[in-house]
Amino acid sequence: MEWSLLFNAFIGILAILNPIGNVPIFLEHVENDTPKVQRAVAILMALSMFVMLAVFFVFGTRILGVFGITLPAFRLAGSVIILIVGLRMLQGRSKFESGGIETASAHGGTFSQARNRLSHIVVPVAMPLFIGPGSITTVVLYAEKTKTFPMFVMMLGVLFLATVVVGLCLVVSRSIFNLLGTNGTQIVIRFMGMILCAIAMQFMIDGVAQLLPGVLNANFIHGAV
């Protein structure tokens, strides 16, 4: 079992989902709802994110095959996308600028209100704020590194664990934002951006190694090349 790959995948996916950095944007879209509805929306959104990530993880390479895209090409293109996201996070830029807030209906129970709210904010909050080009690229690249069924199951577990962490951050989002404040949130965003830049460079090295086997130092290449 390649535990280092699983750990790397968890950190990479969690970094690009950026739950701490996206807390203010999530709160902006649910600020008019009750705390119970906010928590329910957070849970439903986390489940939605897991489903979307799992779909791209399972079928991503097949989609590439339909368009005739090779894995080395996708590695290199994906590394550029992840690098851009990481650089934007290092500069403290938000991935999404809100264009207004809609208020969910106050009728029905907590779960009904949460589903109504989610239907209004699943786009653009869940996608592309959380599940954007960077996260899609990341799970597809890690799917390409997954060679056995046990690793496949473990990777799905990693995706689930990452979305659970995101869900927990969203559930306690108001407390996190109050605790960190604006400056603390910016520090977290920049740190996660640095992690993403490093992961992007590793993907780039792996992609070049696939195109030029035997040229690069094997000690710095992850996965089968």
Measured distance CA(103)–CA(84) in Å, rounded? 33
Lowest mean pLDDT: which of 56-65, 67-76, 95-104, 138-147? 95-104
Chain-centroid distance, C-alpha 12: 8
Does residue 225 belong to any structural domain of this protein? no
Does residue 138 belong to any structural domain of this protein? yes
Give, as one character, the DSSP assignment of residue 219. Answer: G
Over 60: is that where the pLDDT of 1 sits? no
What percent of the chain stands above pLDDT 90?
14
Does residue 28 belong to any structural domain of this protein? yes
Q: Where does the pLDDT of residue 173 fall: very low under 50, low under 70, confident under 90, or very high at 90 and above?
A: confident
Burial 66-75 (b: 16+ CB within 10 A, else e): eeeeebbebb
Split into its structural domains, the chain has a count of 1
Look up the domain containing 96 and give its range. 3-220
Q: Where does the pLDDT of residue 54 fall: very low under 50, low under 70, confident under 90, or very high at 90 and above?
A: very high
Over 60: is that where the pLDDT of 93 sits? no
Over 60: is that where the pLDDT of 70 sits? yes
